[in-house]
Structure 1
Protein backbone atom coordinates (compact mmCIF):
# COMPACT_ATOMS: atom_id res chain seq x y z
CA UNK A 1 0.00 0.00 0.00
CA UNK A 2 2.83 2.38 0.92
CA UNK A 3 4.59 1.57 -2.35
CA UNK A 4 1.39 2.30 -4.24
CA UNK A 5 1.00 5.69 -2.53
CA UNK A 6 4.63 6.57 -3.24
CA UNK A 7 4.13 5.63 -6.90
CA UNK A 8 0.98 7.76 -7.16
CA UNK A 9 2.69 10.70 -5.43
CA UNK A 10 5.69 10.47 -7.71
CA UNK A 11 3.42 10.37 -10.72
CA UNK A 12 1.53 13.46 -9.57
CA UNK A 13 4.79 15.37 -9.01
CA UNK A 14 6.10 14.42 -12.43
CA UNK A 15 2.85 15.58 -14.03
CA UNK A 16 3.04 18.90 -12.21
CA UNK A 17 6.63 19.46 -13.34
CA UNK A 18 5.65 18.56 -16.90
CA UNK A 19 2.78 21.08 -16.86
CA UNK A 20 5.07 23.79 -15.53
CA UNK A 21 7.64 22.95 -18.16
CA UNK A 22 5.06 23.07 -20.94
CA UNK A 23 3.80 26.41 -19.67
CA UNK A 24 7.29 27.87 -19.77
CA UNK A 25 7.84 26.70 -23.34
CA UNK A 26 4.50 28.14 -24.44
CA UNK A 27 5.37 31.52 -22.93
CA UNK A 28 8.75 31.78 -24.68
CA UNK A 29 7.53 32.51 -28.24
CA UNK A 30 5.13 35.15 -26.91
CA UNK A 31 7.98 36.95 -25.19
CA UNK A 32 10.15 36.72 -28.33
CA UNK A 33 7.37 38.11 -30.50
CA UNK A 34 6.80 40.99 -28.13
CA UNK A 35 10.49 41.92 -28.10
CA UNK A 36 11.06 41.53 -31.88
CA UNK A 37 11.94 44.86 -33.59
CA UNK A 38 9.44 46.40 -36.03
CA UNK A 39 10.35 46.09 -39.72
CA UNK A 40 12.33 49.06 -41.07
CA UNK A 41 10.43 51.66 -43.08
CA UNK A 42 11.49 51.81 -46.75
CA UNK A 43 13.26 55.08 -47.61
CA UNK A 44 11.51 57.21 -50.22
CA UNK A 45 13.22 57.30 -53.62
CA UNK A 46 12.16 60.24 -55.80
CA UNK A 47 11.68 59.57 -59.51
CA UNK A 48 13.29 62.18 -61.75
CA UNK A 49 12.18 62.69 -65.35
CA UNK A 50 14.88 63.73 -67.84
CA UNK A 51 14.69 64.00 -71.63
CA UNK A 52 18.05 62.36 -72.31
CA UNK A 53 18.55 63.92 -75.74
CA UNK A 54 19.85 67.30 -74.63
CA UNK A 55 23.60 66.97 -74.13
CA UNK A 56 25.44 68.12 -72.14
CA UNK A 57 22.58 68.64 -69.71
CA UNK A 58 21.10 65.14 -69.97
CA UNK A 59 21.97 62.27 -72.28
CA UNK A 60 22.49 58.51 -72.19
CA UNK A 61 25.89 56.87 -71.84
CA UNK A 62 26.95 53.52 -73.31
CA UNK A 63 25.09 51.74 -70.49
CA UNK A 64 21.88 53.63 -71.32
CA UNK A 65 22.12 55.47 -68.02
CA UNK A 66 20.90 59.06 -67.87
CA UNK A 67 23.91 61.29 -67.24
CA UNK A 68 24.91 64.92 -67.74
CA UNK A 69 25.22 68.29 -66.05
CA UNK A 70 21.67 68.40 -64.66
CA UNK A 71 21.97 64.84 -63.37
CA UNK A 72 25.20 65.58 -61.52
CA UNK A 73 23.92 68.85 -60.05
CA UNK A 74 20.67 67.32 -58.75
CA UNK A 75 22.44 64.18 -57.51
CA UNK A 76 24.94 66.29 -55.58
CA UNK A 77 22.09 68.37 -54.14
CA UNK A 78 20.28 65.18 -53.09
CA UNK A 79 23.40 63.88 -51.37
CA UNK A 80 23.63 67.12 -49.37
CA UNK A 81 19.89 67.21 -48.73
CA UNK A 82 19.69 63.60 -47.60
CA UNK A 83 17.29 62.18 -50.16
CA UNK A 84 17.57 59.55 -52.90
CA UNK A 85 16.83 59.77 -56.64
CA UNK A 86 16.10 57.52 -59.59
CA UNK A 87 16.52 59.07 -63.06
CA UNK A 88 14.19 57.93 -65.85
CA UNK A 89 14.55 58.90 -69.52
CA UNK A 90 11.31 60.76 -70.30
CA UNK A 91 10.39 62.23 -73.72
CA UNK A 92 10.02 66.02 -73.65
CA UNK A 93 6.52 65.92 -75.11
CA UNK A 94 5.11 64.14 -72.05
CA UNK A 95 7.48 65.30 -69.36
CA UNK A 96 5.20 67.91 -67.78
CA UNK A 97 2.16 65.60 -67.88
CA UNK A 98 4.20 62.97 -66.04
CA UNK A 99 4.88 65.46 -63.25
CA UNK A 100 1.22 66.47 -62.98
CA UNK A 101 0.05 62.86 -62.87
CA UNK A 102 2.54 61.89 -60.19
CA UNK A 103 4.58 59.53 -62.39
CA UNK A 104 7.59 61.81 -61.81
CA UNK A 105 8.45 63.62 -58.58
CA UNK A 106 11.08 65.99 -60.00
CA UNK A 107 12.10 67.08 -63.49
CA UNK A 108 15.74 67.65 -64.48
CA UNK A 109 15.74 68.58 -68.14
CA UNK A 110 17.21 72.06 -68.71
CA UNK A 111 13.80 73.57 -67.98
CA UNK A 112 13.59 77.35 -68.10
CA UNK A 113 11.67 79.00 -65.27
CA UNK A 114 8.80 81.00 -66.80
CA UNK A 115 5.77 82.72 -65.32
CA UNK A 116 3.49 80.51 -67.40
CA UNK A 117 5.08 77.29 -66.16
CA UNK A 118 5.01 78.51 -62.56
CA UNK A 119 1.22 78.44 -62.75
CA UNK A 120 1.18 74.64 -62.95
CA UNK A 121 4.38 73.53 -61.17
CA UNK A 122 6.74 74.69 -58.43
CA UNK A 123 10.35 75.50 -59.36
CA UNK A 124 13.50 75.16 -57.33
CA UNK A 125 15.96 77.99 -57.02
CA UNK A 126 17.80 78.63 -60.33
CA UNK A 127 20.88 76.51 -60.98
CA UNK A 128 21.94 77.59 -64.50
CA UNK A 129 21.79 80.77 -66.61
CA UNK A 130 21.18 80.34 -70.34
CA UNK A 131 20.43 82.38 -73.47
CA UNK A 132 18.99 81.53 -76.83
CA UNK A 133 21.58 81.06 -79.56
CA UNK A 134 21.27 81.07 -83.36
CA UNK A 135 22.90 78.31 -85.41
CA UNK A 136 23.53 78.75 -89.15
CA UNK A 137 25.68 77.12 -91.81
CA UNK A 138 29.27 78.36 -92.01
CA UNK A 139 29.69 80.99 -94.67
CA UNK A 140 26.24 82.52 -94.14
CA UNK A 141 26.82 86.27 -93.91
CA UNK A 142 23.31 87.72 -93.90
CA UNK A 143 22.42 86.56 -90.37
CA UNK A 144 24.00 88.77 -87.75
CA UNK A 145 21.06 89.15 -85.39
CA UNK A 146 17.75 87.55 -84.52
CA UNK A 147 15.86 90.09 -86.62
CA UNK A 148 17.70 88.84 -89.70
CA UNK A 149 15.72 85.58 -89.41
CA UNK A 150 12.36 87.18 -90.28
CA UNK A 151 12.37 85.79 -93.79
CA UNK A 152 14.16 82.53 -92.96
CA UNK A 153 13.05 78.98 -92.26
CA UNK A 154 13.90 78.17 -88.64
CA UNK A 155 14.14 74.86 -86.77
CA UNK A 156 13.27 74.69 -83.06
CA UNK A 157 12.44 72.10 -80.42
CA UNK A 158 8.71 71.93 -79.76
CA UNK A 159 7.52 73.62 -76.58
CA UNK A 160 10.84 75.18 -75.62
CA UNK A 161 11.64 78.83 -75.02
CA UNK A 162 13.36 78.79 -78.41
CA UNK A 163 10.02 77.85 -79.92
CA UNK A 164 8.37 80.72 -78.02
CA UNK A 165 10.78 83.44 -79.16
CA UNK A 166 10.62 82.30 -82.79
CA UNK A 167 6.81 82.34 -82.67
CA UNK A 168 6.95 85.96 -81.53
CA UNK A 169 9.24 86.83 -84.42
CA UNK A 170 7.49 84.96 -87.25
CA UNK A 171 3.98 84.45 -85.91
CA UNK A 172 2.45 81.43 -84.17
CA UNK A 173 1.20 79.78 -87.36
CA UNK A 174 4.11 80.69 -89.62
CA UNK A 175 4.97 77.88 -92.07
CA UNK A 176 8.62 78.90 -91.76
CA UNK A 177 8.83 77.40 -88.27
CA UNK A 178 9.80 73.72 -88.30
CA UNK A 179 9.37 71.97 -84.97
CA UNK A 180 11.20 68.86 -83.80
CA UNK A 181 11.02 66.48 -80.86
CA UNK A 182 14.51 67.40 -79.67
CA UNK A 183 17.23 69.94 -80.42
CA UNK A 184 19.69 67.56 -82.11
CA UNK A 185 17.00 66.76 -84.71
CA UNK A 186 16.48 70.49 -85.30
CA UNK A 187 20.21 70.93 -85.83
CA UNK A 188 20.35 67.94 -88.19
CA UNK A 189 17.65 69.64 -90.27
CA UNK A 190 19.97 72.63 -90.53
CA UNK A 191 22.82 70.35 -91.57
CA UNK A 192 20.73 68.87 -94.38
CA UNK A 193 19.68 72.29 -95.68
CA UNK A 194 16.04 71.89 -94.74
CA UNK A 195 16.10 75.18 -92.82
CA UNK A 196 18.21 78.33 -92.84
CA UNK A 197 18.80 78.46 -89.10
CA UNK A 198 18.05 76.82 -85.76
CA UNK A 199 17.39 78.54 -82.44
CA UNK A 200 17.92 76.88 -79.08
CA UNK A 201 19.53 77.17 -75.66
CA UNK A 202 23.19 78.13 -75.86
CA UNK A 203 24.50 75.22 -73.80
CA UNK A 204 23.09 72.46 -75.98
CA UNK A 205 23.76 74.28 -79.29
CA UNK A 206 27.40 74.99 -78.40
CA UNK A 207 27.90 71.39 -77.26
CA UNK A 208 26.45 70.03 -80.52
CA UNK A 209 28.53 72.32 -82.75
CA UNK A 210 31.69 71.52 -80.77
CA UNK A 211 31.20 67.77 -81.11
CA UNK A 212 30.14 67.83 -84.78
CA UNK A 213 32.67 70.08 -86.52
CA UNK A 214 32.35 68.11 -89.75
CA UNK A 215 28.85 69.50 -90.36
CA UNK A 216 29.93 73.08 -90.85
CA UNK A 217 27.68 74.87 -88.38
CA UNK A 218 28.52 78.13 -86.65
CA UNK A 219 26.68 80.20 -84.06
CA UNK A 220 25.46 83.80 -83.87
CA UNK A 221 24.92 85.53 -80.53
CA UNK A 222 22.40 88.33 -80.03
CA UNK A 223 22.41 89.41 -76.40
CA UNK A 224 20.12 92.37 -77.17
CA UNK A 225 17.32 90.18 -78.51
CA UNK A 226 17.57 87.30 -76.04
CA UNK A 227 17.11 87.92 -72.34
CA UNK A 228 18.88 85.67 -69.83
CA UNK A 229 16.96 82.53 -68.85
CA UNK A 230 17.31 80.46 -65.71
CA UNK A 231 16.89 76.70 -65.34
CA UNK A 232 15.19 75.18 -62.32
CA UNK A 233 14.11 71.73 -61.14
CA UNK A 234 10.28 71.57 -61.11
CA UNK A 235 8.24 69.54 -58.62
CA UNK A 236 4.48 69.09 -58.46
CA UNK A 237 2.67 72.30 -57.59
CA UNK A 238 2.48 72.72 -53.84
CA UNK A 239 4.97 70.00 -52.87
CA UNK A 240 6.78 72.33 -50.51
CA UNK A 241 8.47 69.56 -48.51
CA UNK A 242 10.32 68.22 -51.55
CA UNK A 243 11.01 71.71 -52.86
CA UNK A 244 12.67 72.66 -49.56
CA UNK A 245 14.90 69.58 -49.77
CA UNK A 246 16.00 70.40 -53.31
CA UNK A 247 16.66 74.06 -52.49
CA UNK A 248 18.65 73.17 -49.38
CA UNK A 249 20.79 70.83 -51.47
CA UNK A 250 21.39 73.43 -54.20
CA UNK A 251 22.38 76.01 -51.59
CA UNK A 252 24.80 73.57 -49.98
CA UNK A 253 26.62 72.57 -53.19
CA UNK A 254 26.99 76.20 -54.23
CA UNK A 255 28.43 77.05 -50.82
CA UNK A 256 31.02 74.26 -50.66
CA UNK A 257 32.29 74.50 -54.26
CA UNK A 258 30.69 71.28 -55.55
CA UNK A 259 28.52 73.15 -58.05
CA UNK A 260 31.51 75.02 -59.47
CA UNK A 261 33.41 71.76 -59.97
CA UNK A 262 30.51 70.24 -61.92
CA UNK A 263 30.08 73.42 -63.98
CA UNK A 264 33.76 73.50 -64.92
CA UNK A 265 33.65 69.85 -65.92
CA UNK A 266 30.98 70.51 -68.57
CA UNK A 267 31.48 74.14 -69.57
CA UNK A 268 34.97 75.18 -68.50
CA UNK A 269 35.65 78.01 -66.08
CA UNK A 270 33.01 80.73 -65.91
Structure 2
Protein backbone atom coordinates (compact mmCIF):
# COMPACT_ATOMS: atom_id res chain seq x y z
CA UNK A 1 0.00 0.00 0.00
CA UNK A 2 3.04 2.31 -0.05
CA UNK A 3 2.09 3.30 -3.58
CA UNK A 4 -0.89 5.24 -2.26
CA UNK A 5 1.33 7.82 -0.58
CA UNK A 6 2.48 9.33 -3.86
CA UNK A 7 -1.10 9.57 -5.06
CA UNK A 8 -2.41 11.59 -2.15
CA UNK A 9 0.30 14.01 -1.19
CA UNK A 10 -1.74 16.81 -2.74
CA UNK A 11 -4.81 15.90 -0.72
CA UNK A 12 -4.30 18.77 1.67
CA UNK A 13 -4.26 21.32 -1.14
CA UNK A 14 -7.62 23.01 -1.40
CA UNK A 15 -9.18 21.13 1.51
CA UNK A 16 -11.70 23.88 1.96
CA UNK A 17 -12.54 24.22 -1.71
CA UNK A 18 -15.48 22.04 -2.69
CA UNK A 19 -15.30 20.14 -5.96
CA UNK A 20 -18.03 20.96 -8.44
CA UNK A 21 -20.01 22.76 -5.76
CA UNK A 22 -22.59 25.42 -5.86
CA UNK A 23 -23.26 27.96 -3.16
CA UNK A 24 -23.85 26.44 0.27
CA UNK A 25 -27.50 26.18 1.20
CA UNK A 26 -29.18 25.51 4.50
CA UNK A 27 -32.69 25.56 3.07
CA UNK A 28 -32.70 22.76 0.51
CA UNK A 29 -34.07 20.32 3.11
CA UNK A 30 -31.53 17.56 2.54
CA UNK A 31 -29.78 17.90 5.89
CA UNK A 32 -33.03 18.43 7.80
CA UNK A 33 -34.43 15.24 6.27
CA UNK A 34 -31.45 13.19 7.43
CA UNK A 35 -31.42 14.76 10.90
CA UNK A 36 -35.15 14.15 11.35
CA UNK A 37 -34.79 10.52 10.25
CA UNK A 38 -31.77 10.04 12.51
CA UNK A 39 -30.15 7.97 9.76
CA UNK A 40 -28.02 8.70 6.72
CA UNK A 41 -28.20 6.10 3.93
CA UNK A 42 -25.10 5.46 1.84
CA UNK A 43 -24.85 3.61 -1.45
CA UNK A 44 -21.84 1.31 -1.81
CA UNK A 45 -20.49 -1.35 -4.13
CA UNK A 46 -19.44 -3.93 -1.54
CA UNK A 47 -17.09 -5.83 -3.86
CA UNK A 48 -14.19 -3.38 -3.74
CA UNK A 49 -11.68 -4.26 -0.99
CA UNK A 50 -10.07 -2.64 0.93
CA UNK A 51 -12.45 0.28 0.42
CA UNK A 52 -15.80 -1.47 0.87
CA UNK A 53 -16.45 -5.22 0.95
CA UNK A 54 -18.07 -8.08 2.83
CA UNK A 55 -15.87 -10.31 4.97
CA UNK A 56 -16.27 -14.06 5.49
CA UNK A 57 -18.98 -13.35 8.07
CA UNK A 58 -20.89 -11.26 5.52
CA UNK A 59 -20.13 -8.07 7.47
CA UNK A 60 -19.55 -4.88 5.47
CA UNK A 61 -16.18 -3.31 6.25
CA UNK A 62 -13.36 -1.29 4.72
CA UNK A 63 -11.72 2.13 4.60
CA UNK A 64 -14.81 3.95 3.31
CA UNK A 65 -17.01 2.14 5.84
CA UNK A 66 -14.91 3.15 8.85
CA UNK A 67 -14.74 6.70 7.56
CA UNK A 68 -18.49 7.00 6.91
CA UNK A 69 -19.30 5.48 10.31
CA UNK A 70 -17.20 8.14 12.02
CA UNK A 71 -18.76 10.88 9.90
CA UNK A 72 -22.18 9.62 11.00
CA UNK A 73 -21.10 9.92 14.63
CA UNK A 74 -19.92 13.49 14.04
CA UNK A 75 -23.28 14.31 12.46
CA UNK A 76 -25.21 12.60 15.25
CA UNK A 77 -26.97 10.09 12.99
CA UNK A 78 -26.88 6.35 12.37
CA UNK A 79 -25.39 5.07 9.12
CA UNK A 80 -27.19 2.59 6.88
CA UNK A 81 -25.49 1.02 3.88
CA UNK A 82 -27.29 0.10 0.68
CA UNK A 83 -25.20 -2.36 -1.38
CA UNK A 84 -25.73 -1.59 -5.05
CA UNK A 85 -24.20 -2.86 -8.27
CA UNK A 86 -21.70 -0.32 -9.54
CA UNK A 87 -23.20 -0.11 -13.01
CA UNK A 88 -26.47 1.15 -11.49
CA UNK A 89 -25.28 3.08 -8.45
CA UNK A 90 -25.52 6.59 -9.95
CA UNK A 91 -29.04 6.00 -11.26
CA UNK A 92 -29.97 4.73 -7.80
CA UNK A 93 -28.66 7.96 -6.24
CA UNK A 94 -30.73 9.99 -8.68
CA UNK A 95 -33.78 7.87 -7.82
CA UNK A 96 -33.21 8.66 -4.11
CA UNK A 97 -32.50 5.08 -3.07
CA UNK A 98 -29.95 6.55 -0.66
CA UNK A 99 -28.61 9.95 0.42
CA UNK A 100 -25.11 9.74 -1.03
CA UNK A 101 -22.47 7.44 -2.45
CA UNK A 102 -19.21 6.82 -0.61
CA UNK A 103 -17.72 4.00 -2.59
CA UNK A 104 -14.41 5.04 -4.17
CA UNK A 105 -16.14 7.43 -6.58
CA UNK A 106 -13.66 9.13 -8.89
CA UNK A 107 -14.45 12.82 -9.37
CA UNK A 108 -14.67 13.49 -13.11
CA UNK A 109 -15.95 16.42 -15.16
CA UNK A 110 -18.64 14.19 -16.62
CA UNK A 111 -19.89 13.13 -13.19
CA UNK A 112 -19.85 16.73 -11.95
CA UNK A 113 -22.50 17.50 -14.56
CA UNK A 114 -25.05 15.49 -12.56
CA UNK A 115 -23.63 15.31 -9.02
CA UNK A 116 -21.77 17.35 -6.41
CA UNK A 117 -18.83 16.05 -4.40
CA UNK A 118 -16.84 16.55 -1.24
CA UNK A 119 -13.22 17.50 -1.62
CA UNK A 120 -11.02 14.48 -2.48
CA UNK A 121 -10.21 12.32 0.54
CA UNK A 122 -7.93 9.94 -1.33
CA UNK A 123 -6.37 9.66 -4.77
CA UNK A 124 -6.77 6.56 -6.89
CA UNK A 125 -6.67 6.06 -10.63
CA UNK A 126 -6.02 3.18 -12.97
CA UNK A 127 -3.13 0.79 -12.53
CA UNK A 128 -2.25 -2.29 -14.55
CA UNK A 129 -2.00 -5.71 -12.89
CA UNK A 130 -0.50 -8.76 -14.57
CA UNK A 131 0.64 -12.25 -13.70
CA UNK A 132 3.97 -12.25 -11.89
CA UNK A 133 5.56 -14.14 -14.76
CA UNK A 134 4.51 -11.48 -17.30
CA UNK A 135 7.39 -9.21 -18.28
CA UNK A 136 5.88 -8.04 -21.56
CA UNK A 137 3.48 -5.45 -20.15
CA UNK A 138 5.24 -2.53 -18.48
CA UNK A 139 2.94 0.36 -19.34
CA UNK A 140 0.34 1.77 -21.71
CA UNK A 141 2.44 1.20 -24.84
CA UNK A 142 2.46 -2.56 -24.18
CA UNK A 143 -1.35 -2.93 -24.20
CA UNK A 144 -1.47 -3.19 -27.98
CA UNK A 145 -3.14 -6.45 -28.99
CA UNK A 146 -3.93 -7.38 -25.38
CA UNK A 147 -7.19 -8.46 -23.71
CA UNK A 148 -7.89 -6.52 -20.52
CA UNK A 149 -10.31 -6.93 -17.63
CA UNK A 150 -12.07 -4.09 -15.78
CA UNK A 151 -14.99 -3.67 -13.40
CA UNK A 152 -18.11 -2.61 -15.25
CA UNK A 153 -18.95 1.10 -14.99
CA UNK A 154 -15.57 2.25 -13.66
CA UNK A 155 -13.48 5.04 -15.14
CA UNK A 156 -11.10 2.41 -16.50
CA UNK A 157 -13.56 1.96 -19.36
CA UNK A 158 -13.16 5.60 -20.45
CA UNK A 159 -9.39 5.57 -19.98
CA UNK A 160 -8.91 2.44 -22.06
CA UNK A 161 -11.27 3.72 -24.77
CA UNK A 162 -8.68 6.40 -25.56
CA UNK A 163 -5.90 3.86 -26.05
CA UNK A 164 -5.61 2.47 -29.57
CA UNK A 165 -4.66 -1.09 -30.39
CA UNK A 166 -6.24 -2.91 -27.44
CA UNK A 167 -7.68 -6.20 -28.63
CA UNK A 168 -10.60 -6.42 -26.17
CA UNK A 169 -11.82 -4.98 -22.88
CA UNK A 170 -13.83 -7.48 -20.84
CA UNK A 171 -16.19 -6.04 -18.22
CA UNK A 172 -16.82 -7.82 -14.92
CA UNK A 173 -19.33 -7.30 -12.12
CA UNK A 174 -16.55 -7.56 -9.52
CA UNK A 175 -12.78 -7.26 -9.52
CA UNK A 176 -12.46 -10.70 -7.96
CA UNK A 177 -13.88 -12.20 -11.16
CA UNK A 178 -11.41 -10.26 -13.28
CA UNK A 179 -8.43 -11.48 -11.26
CA UNK A 180 -9.66 -15.07 -11.50
CA UNK A 181 -9.67 -14.80 -15.29
CA UNK A 182 -6.21 -13.22 -15.19
CA UNK A 183 -4.93 -16.17 -13.18
CA UNK A 184 -6.35 -18.69 -15.65
CA UNK A 185 -4.99 -16.77 -18.64
CA UNK A 186 -8.32 -15.70 -20.15
CA UNK A 187 -7.13 -12.08 -20.07
CA UNK A 188 -3.68 -10.50 -20.22
CA UNK A 189 -4.10 -7.82 -17.53
CA UNK A 190 -6.52 -6.20 -15.09
CA UNK A 191 -6.95 -2.43 -14.83
CA UNK A 192 -8.06 -1.22 -11.40
CA UNK A 193 -7.62 1.39 -8.69
CA UNK A 194 -4.14 0.75 -7.24
CA UNK A 195 -5.32 0.46 -3.62
CA UNK A 196 -7.95 -2.10 -4.61
CA UNK A 197 -5.62 -4.18 -6.73
CA UNK A 198 -2.82 -3.99 -4.17
CA UNK A 199 -5.14 -5.17 -1.41
CA UNK A 200 -6.43 -8.03 -3.53
CA UNK A 201 -2.95 -9.30 -4.40
CA UNK A 202 -1.40 -8.65 -0.96
CA UNK A 203 -1.47 -12.38 -0.18
CA UNK A 204 -1.12 -13.43 -3.83
CA UNK A 205 2.25 -11.91 -4.70
CA UNK A 206 3.31 -15.19 -6.24
CA UNK A 207 0.47 -14.87 -8.75
CA UNK A 208 0.13 -11.15 -9.54
CA UNK A 209 2.04 -7.88 -9.60
CA UNK A 210 1.29 -4.25 -10.33
CA UNK A 211 3.01 -2.63 -13.29
CA UNK A 212 5.04 0.38 -12.16
CA UNK A 213 3.58 2.81 -14.69
CA UNK A 214 0.07 4.14 -13.88
CA UNK A 215 -2.41 4.94 -16.68
CA UNK A 216 -3.74 7.96 -14.75
CA UNK A 217 -4.47 9.37 -11.29
CA UNK A 218 -7.93 10.37 -10.05
CA UNK A 219 -9.34 12.24 -7.03
CA UNK A 220 -11.96 10.31 -5.03
CA UNK A 221 -14.81 11.89 -3.07
CA UNK A 222 -18.30 11.27 -1.73
CA UNK A 223 -21.07 11.99 -4.27
CA UNK A 224 -24.42 13.70 -3.67
CA UNK A 225 -27.41 14.80 -5.72
CA UNK A 226 -26.91 18.32 -7.06
CA UNK A 227 -29.86 19.56 -5.04
CA UNK A 228 -28.45 18.34 -1.70
CA UNK A 229 -25.91 21.07 -1.00
CA UNK A 230 -26.72 21.39 2.71
CA UNK A 231 -26.18 17.69 3.33
CA UNK A 232 -22.94 17.69 1.34
CA UNK A 233 -21.65 20.69 3.28
CA UNK A 234 -22.37 19.07 6.66
CA UNK A 235 -20.77 15.82 5.51
CA UNK A 236 -17.72 17.77 4.34
CA UNK A 237 -17.50 19.57 7.69
CA UNK A 238 -17.45 16.25 9.55
CA UNK A 239 -14.87 14.86 7.12
CA UNK A 240 -12.60 17.86 7.69
CA UNK A 241 -12.88 17.46 11.47
CA UNK A 242 -11.92 13.78 11.23
CA UNK A 243 -8.86 14.69 9.22
CA UNK A 244 -7.89 17.41 11.69
CA UNK A 245 -8.27 15.24 14.81
CA UNK A 246 -6.26 12.36 13.33
CA UNK A 247 -9.12 9.88 12.91
CA UNK A 248 -8.59 9.54 9.15
CA UNK A 249 -4.89 8.91 9.74
CA UNK A 250 -5.75 6.00 12.05
CA UNK A 251 -8.16 4.54 9.50
CA UNK A 252 -5.51 4.90 6.80
CA UNK A 253 -2.91 3.04 8.87
CA UNK A 254 -5.45 0.31 9.62
CA UNK A 255 -6.26 -0.39 5.96
CA UNK A 256 -3.19 0.73 4.03
CA UNK A 257 -0.39 0.27 6.55
CA UNK A 258 0.63 3.93 6.33
CA UNK A 259 -0.76 7.42 6.92
CA UNK A 260 -1.79 8.88 3.58
CA UNK A 261 -2.76 12.13 5.32
CA UNK A 262 0.66 12.80 6.80
CA UNK A 263 2.06 16.08 5.55
TM-score (norm 2): 0.80
Match of 2:211 among 211, 220, 230: 220
**Secondary structure at 2:64's aligned position in 1?**
helix
* C-alpha distance in 1 between matches for 2:164 and 2:172: 17
85, 93, 105: which one aligns with 1:99? 93
How far apart, CA to CA, are the structure 2 residues paired with 1:211 and 1:97?
35
Q: Which structure's CA Rg is the greater one?
A: 1
Q: How many residues align?
A: 225
Equivalent residue number for residue 260 of structure 1: 249
Indicate the residue corresponding to 2:150 in structure 1: 156
Q: Cα deviation per residue 1:106-165 (whole Å; 9 max; x = unaligned)?
A: 112111010101111111121111132111111211111121112211111112112221
**Displaced runs of 4+ in structure 1, greater than 6 A?**
none
Aligned-partner Cα distance in 2 for 1:239–1:64: 31
Matches within 5 A, 1:38-77: 43-77=37-71
Question: Alpha carbon RMSD of aligned pairs, Å?
Answer: 1.8
Q: What is the match of residue 129 of structure 1?
A: 123
For 2:158 and 2:229, the matched residues in 1 are separated by 29
Distance 1:263 1:243 in 2: 22
Structure 2 residue runs of 5 or longer lacking an equivalent are 1-34
Greater strand fraction, Structure 1 or Structure 2: 2
Residue in 1 that maps onto 2:13: none
Partner of 1:112: 106
- Secondary structure at 1:195 match in 2: coil
- What is the alpha-carbon distance in structure 2 between the residues aligned to residue 240 and residue 212 of structure 1? 43
**Matches of 1:42 and 1:129, distance apart in 2:** 33
Identify which of 228, 234, 245 aligns with 1:239: 228
Q: 1:84/1:191 Cα in 2 relative to 1: closer, same or farther (>3 Å)?
A: same
- Classify the secondary structure of the residue corresponding to 1:232: strand
Q: Deviations over 1:43-66 (max 9, x none)?
A: 331211111100000011344232
Whole-angstrom CA distance in 1 between matches of 2:174 and 2:164: 20
Structure 2 equivalent of residue 211 of structure 1: 203
What are the ranges of 5 or more consecutive residues in structure 1 without an aligned counterpart?
1-40
SS of aligned partner of 1:251: helix
Query: What's the offset of the Cα at 1:42?
Result: 5.3
Asked which structure has the greater RCO (Cα within 8 Å, sep 6+), the reply is 2
